[in-house]
Structure 1
Amino acid sequence: MHLHWLKPLLGRPAPFVTVHLDASPAEVAGESGPVDRWRSVRRGLERDGAPAALLDEIGERVASPDGRRDAHGRVVVADAHGVVLDRVLRAAPAASRGNFGPVPALAPVVRASEETVCVLVVAVDRTGADLRWVDADDGGDRGPVTETVDGGHDDVHKTREAGLERRGQTRAEDSWQRNAEAVAAVVDKRVRDKRPGLVVLTGDVRSVPLVRDALGQHVRELAVEVPGGGRGDGIHEEAFAERVAQAVVDFRRRRRAEHLDRYREARGRGEGAVAGLDDVVEVLRRGQVDELLLSVSAVAGALADDHLWVGLSPLQLATSRSDLAAIGVVDGETRELPADVALLRAVVGQDAGVTFVEDGDVEVVDGVGALLRWADDSTPSESVPSQSGDAARLRTV
């Protein structure tokens, strides 16, 4: 799971208000809705000293309907100048809560976001496609929720008149192909710019394979075909939505299993992965991390209680102030952050991903491990001395 949506928070001025809200609508008359839950959270934030102006702005956001009628969550983060992040989450928190402090309280929000997958649904026919974003965040940064792509070639019907059948079929098939290529070009660009987790292709049975074949390799790897959708009338929307929801469930399971399998294999080889807070901090500082693995129990305990030292850059982090000074960070630019916050900050700073693991899934020393993008002779290793030369860090696999 990539955290590019957290980038707007990097470098913002403290203090921060973080609200993790159950935004589910009231099911029956008289039941508490999101506005009532927000009032309860606000009272706690007022006691903690959060500025009234920031709380008023968050309240206005919460009072504005997000368009969802099912159970769901919402996270709002404001810095000293106002709301910076407003995101809808698939899962509602067990309890709504707020935090006012020097850094955003994002660990539980990131955990909840693992269940939220942004999906681009591409409904195709022989003339073009409709693009629709599903589970996009509510911040408006994705552009239009729906978009129509006109392929531009309208000779899409095969002619069966005597003597002209072959030529008509060729023209029609050529138009299908060109329209599919036009759709694929737009989908490639949207995926490159907005980075959805999954691309669902649906619609005309002849056109869907043409669009898929015309997509770039990266987008083809994200794409799945889901029958039952389309551009015309007569689509059973509820049944199609259920198929899309199942595709998302399958995607989440597949994504998590792939990361855990890669980590096990890399640990077995003794290269391509590291475990333990010291080694993970080092590879994060060097921009080597592809996927950070965090233990759910450690995030709720040791990593939340432990601290790391950081500089102005997300990749300036260390386990001690002296280690941070050793890489050239001067005293006036240092501060101490909770370990989970500092780790997530470094992940965002290098466009890495995060996977949460339960106890027993894989071995993550100190509750943390990392899959690497690259490695060299100075990369921390469990089989050879690392850059620090600290032999005590060597462990037997």
Structure 2
Amino acid sequence: MIQQQSNSITSTVSVICSRPGPFLSVYIDVSRDVDEAEHRIGVRWRSAREELHRAGAPASLLDLVGERVLDPSGAGGRVARMVVAADDEILLDEVTLRPRAQEALTWGPLPDVTGWLSDRSTTMPVLVVLADREGADFELYDAWPEPPVVTDSFHGDDLHVKKVAVGGWAHKQYQRRSEWTWRRNAEEVAAEIDRHVDDGVPLVVVAGDLRAQGEIRHAVSEKAREILVELETGGRAAGSSRDALDQAIDHAVGDVVVTDRLRTLNELEEQAGRGGAAAVGLREVLGKLTLGQVRTVLLSPDEASTQIVATRDYPGLPLPTEAQNSDELRADLAVVCAAAATDAEVAIVPRAKSGDGVSAVLRWDDQRSGSAVTGELE
């Protein structure tokens, strides 16, 4: 369900890992919602810079990254900044709201993006629709809860939008006109929702007037209805609580993320249980990555980051040049880069079935592969 965002992140990491390295990776708290925030960030960066310089990072690259770290992000609340640089060039500079992962400060043969990926795994694209009987406000988010990338409004026909208390022969006529106006406005809103769903938005959240929500649900396509969540809080009306709405959207996004993870874990369990298209454990997954056989890696960063990989044990593993002759690569970083290079998704999970934190759902199983080869030879 969150395939669109996964593809985007995979593409970003793939571009980074196509560079030879080494990489300077900084994932650091840049929140400015505390007293003397600018001073605190400056002190933290000076300490981080010294640490990275001792590790071998060149001064020119540290200066380049430092400019990004110290530059105000413009975001409120708790904020972290992920910056990856190599060859005197910034390869990634992204802000993450409400980060949970630990900071990362590394200079090495692989980009250290696992913490950033872990925080990004709890976000997703969302279309928020604040509806009433006259129309709706639209907010499109590439990665909730980051700021919306598009905001728009639709104001439909408000003639007779409110039923009037009239009597006599005109009463039924006014009632019918109001019903018709509500329905027409809802259809216009639904058409806009359908357009975004066709573009790949995986979650639509509708809040506001309950009657309008019902009309919109009835008018949208079946595809949109399957991913539409209606909320009882928030809306266009004056006095509506934005904090309550944001919390409700948080819950809706969390439900989708958890459901998506469970779906992938269940598929892994099913495939592994019948000896099908699954790989369990670091060694087996790395072997499958060298063949381009992995569709989705299930990675538990806490477990995988304690494992070490020697590239000589995996000839052909697609990694940056700087990492190809290393005997001490962090397993989580090697898996992320190799997965991105082979267009495999990376799903961050609390545990990945194996004790070393790495499992995978494959594109095909070995039995099918063997049968295809046998058929060709015959």
Spell out the pairing of 1:267-346 with structure 2 (5 A cutoff): 267-285=272-290, 287-302=292-307, 305-308=308-311, 319-321=313-315, 324=316, 335-336=324-325, 338=329, 339-346=331-338
8 A Cα contact 1:77 1:104, kept in partner: yes
Using the TM superposition, give the Cα deviation of residue 364 of structure 1 relative to its aligned residue in structure 2, in angstroms.
1.9
Residues 109/158 of structure 1: CA separation in 2 closer, same or farther (3 Å cut): closer
- 1:188 pairs with one of 181, 197, 200: 197
Spell out the pairing of 1:99-110 with structure 2 (5 A cutoff): 99-110=106-117
Q: TM-score, normalised by structure 1?
A: 0.72
Using the TM superposition, give the Cα deviation of residue 22 of structure 1 relative to its aligned residue in structure 2, in angstroms.
1.8
8 A Cα contact 2:136 2:236, kept in partner: no
Spell out the pairing of 1:46-85 with structure 2 (5 A cutoff): 46-85=53-92
Is 1:370 the counterpart of 2:360? The answer is yes
Letter in 2 for 1:50: A
8 A Cα contact 2:20 2:322, kept in partner: no
- Give the % identical residues: 29
- 2:270 pairs with one of 258, 265, 268: 265
Letter in 1 for 2:337: R
Using the TM superposition, give the Cα deviation of residue 20 of structure 1 relative to its aligned residue in structure 2, in angstroms.
1.1
Q: Partner of 2:99 in structure 1? A: 91
Q: Partner of 1:147 in structure 2? A: 151
Residues 7/134 of structure 1: CA separation in 2 closer, same or farther (3 Å cut): closer
Using the TM superposition, give the Cα deviation of residue 104 of structure 1 relative to its aligned residue in structure 2, in angstroms.
0.8
Q: Partner of 1:171 in structure 2? A: 180
SS at match of 1:18: strand
Q: Partner of 2:232 in structure 1? A: 227
Q: TM-score, normalised by structure 2?
A: 0.75
SS at match of 1:201: strand
Residues 268/289 of structure 1: CA separation in 2 closer, same or farther (3 Å cut): same
Letter in 2 for 1:5: I
Unaligned 5+ runs, structure 2: 165-169, 374-378
Q: Partner of 2:246 in structure 1? A: 241
Q: Kindly indicate whether structure 1 or structure 2 has the higher relative contact order, using CA contacts under 8 Å at least 6 residues apart.
A: 2
Unaligned 5+ runs, structure 1: 310-318, 388-397
Deviations along 1:292-315, one digit per CA (max 9) or x if unpaired, are 12244431212xx11347xxxxxx
Residues 78/296 of structure 1: CA separation in 2 closer, same or farther (3 Å cut): closer
SS at match of 1:234: coil
Q: Partner of 2:376 in structure 1? A: none
Partners of 1:61 and 1:99 in 2: CA distance: 16
Which stretch has the larger CA shift, 113-122 or 174-183?
A: 113-122
SS at match of 2:50: helix
Which stretch has the larger CA shift, 248-257 or 222-231?
A: 248-257
Using the TM superposition, give the Cα deviation of residue 28 of structure 1 relative to its aligned residue in structure 2, in angstroms.
3.6
Q: Partner of 1:12 in structure 2? A: 19
SS at match of 1:202: strand
SS at match of 1:178: helix
Aligned length: 354
Residues 124/253 of structure 1: CA separation in 2 closer, same or farther (3 Å cut): same
Specify which structure has the higher proportion of helix. Answer: 2
Q: Partner of 2:136 in structure 1? A: 128
Residues 254/55 of structure 1: CA separation in 2 closer, same or farther (3 Å cut): same
SS at match of 2:68: helix
Deviations along 1:14-46, one digit per CA (max 9) or x if unpaired, are 332110102233634589633332222122223
Letter in 2 for 1:226: L
Letter in 2 for 1:148: D
Using the TM superposition, give the Cα deviation of residue 148 of structure 1 relative to its aligned residue in structure 2, in angstroms.
0.4
Partners of 1:119 and 1:240 in 2: CA distance: 13
Partners of 1:372 and 1:226 in 2: CA distance: 37
SS at match of 1:8: helix
8 A Cα contact 2:104 2:112, kept in partner: no
